[in-house]
Amino acid sequence: MGPIAAVAVDEHPSAGRESTQWGILNGLRFFLAFVILTGHISSFVNRYDDWANVGLWFNQGSAVFGFFVIDGFACADRLSREPGTYLNWRFYRIYPVFLANLLLVLAAYYAIGSAFRYPQGQLMAMPTLAEVLGTLVMAQQFLTLIVPLNGQTWSVACFWWLGVLAPRLRLFETAPLLCIMAASYGMFLVFQHWMPAGMHVWTYGRSFVGVTWIWLTGFMWHRLRNTILGVCVTVVPAALAAAAGYFVGLPLLMTLAILMFSDRLRLRVAAIATLVWLGDLAFPIYLSHTPVVAFLCDRHVTNSIALTAASVAVSAIVLHLVDYPARRWLCGPRASAAGIPATFGLAQRSR
């Protein structure tokens, strides 16, 4: 792969503005996933001087918010291009990897043989049947609690149902969407004040209500991009929340800035291909690292570099043995065509 560099569109017609934007967003997704990975590994390792604390410094919760923004934008983009295949695309980009991850979590519990305890003392109890069945139908944090060893799945349920609602939301005028966004933002501030521990404890649909505004930020930018109203809708809520100290950190602010300016850049085709693969790796990393790290820590492997390498390796296996084959099986040759793929919504689109 060649180095990332700006090139003229007429030199590389396939590396135009749109392709470059999705390449950059894919690279951003990998960065966000890596922040989350290192942040969680630092909790397992529990050493203040370990390099994995970079995830905590960046704020891994804010990185999850970045995923929500990109997902909202990607859903709006897909609906504007191929509304007839949208729900099918949404299913094959999320559920196969999600199901593989659930099986991986259950396998980790079986291998550990009991509940897992973090170094700080926090207990990850064995999942109940209700939690497993609720997770299978994306009802975690709505009707059931999350499987303890896979806490990040609260966000996947939100991604899933916001994606299901996206075709209806697309029909709304701008004013009603802004009202929904404002109501969600208000509830986000209330929940953050009452339950500052994080959105994984916002049960019975409260996490869905509280993060809808973040997802709509990306969704609305697709409609209002490069307008004064679009800039205000994208920047002001996050900036105010950050000023108030409400769980909004650098990764989210970086995501907003990159989203707004990524369509003004040009990258080489080889660079885009590399970023696309890294972006595809982001979703397996996001979901699969906790069972991998828990299993290895139970075997007394606590070196953060080894934990990171193992998590990325297992995620690559999931990507190539589950995600890519699922695309080919569910969507045929089109899912393998050269395009800009991504989980959490970034579409692999045939030109």
Using the predicted structure, report yes or no on whether residue 327 has a pLDDT greater than 60. yes
Using the predicted structure, report yes or no on whether residue 286 has a pLDDT greater than 60. yes
Tell me the DSSP string of 228-258: HHHHHHHHHHHHHHHHTTSS--HHHHHHHHH
Using the predicted structure, report yes or no on whether residue 294 has a pLDDT greater than 70. yes
Convert the pLDDT of each residue in 178-231 to its tens digit: 999 999 999 988 887 776 666 767 778 889 999 999 999 999 999 999 899 999
Convert the pLDDT of each residue in 47-106 to its tens digit: 655 666 666 667 888 899 999 999 999 999 999 999 998 999 999 999 999 999 999 999
In sequence order, the 6+-apart residues with CB closer than 8 A to the CB of 212 are: 158, 162, 180, 181, 184
The dihedral built from the CA positions of residue 120, 117, 310 and 1, taken in this order, carries a sign that is negative
Q: How confident is the model at residue 7 (pLDDT cuts 50, 70, 90)?
A: very low
| Residues 311-327: b if buried by 16+ CB within 10 A, e if exposed | bbebbbebbeebbbebb
- Percentage of the residues of the chain whose pLDDT score is greater than 90: 48
pLDDT at 298: 84
CA proximity to 214, closest of 244, 176, 252, 166:
252
Q: How confident is the model at residue 129 (pLDDT cuts 50, 70, 90)?
A: very high
Asked if residues 19 and 273 have their Cβ atoms less than 8 Å apart, the reply is no
Query: Over the chain, what is the mean pLDDT?
Result: 82
Using the predicted structure, report yes or no on whether residue 5 has a pLDDT greater than 90. no
Q: Between residues 330 and 88, which one has the greater pLDDT?
A: 88
Using the predicted structure, report yes or no on whether residue 124 has a pLDDT greater than 50. yes
Tell me the DSSP string of 30-85: HHHHHHHHHHHHHHHH--TT-GGGHHHHH-HHHHHHHHHHHHHHHHHHHHHH-GGG
Q: Which residues sit opposite 144 in a β-bridge?
A: 140
pLDDT at 333: 54
Residue 314, helix vs strand vs coil = helix
Convert the pLDDT of each residue in 243-272 to its tens digit: 776 666 788 889 999 999 988 878 888 888
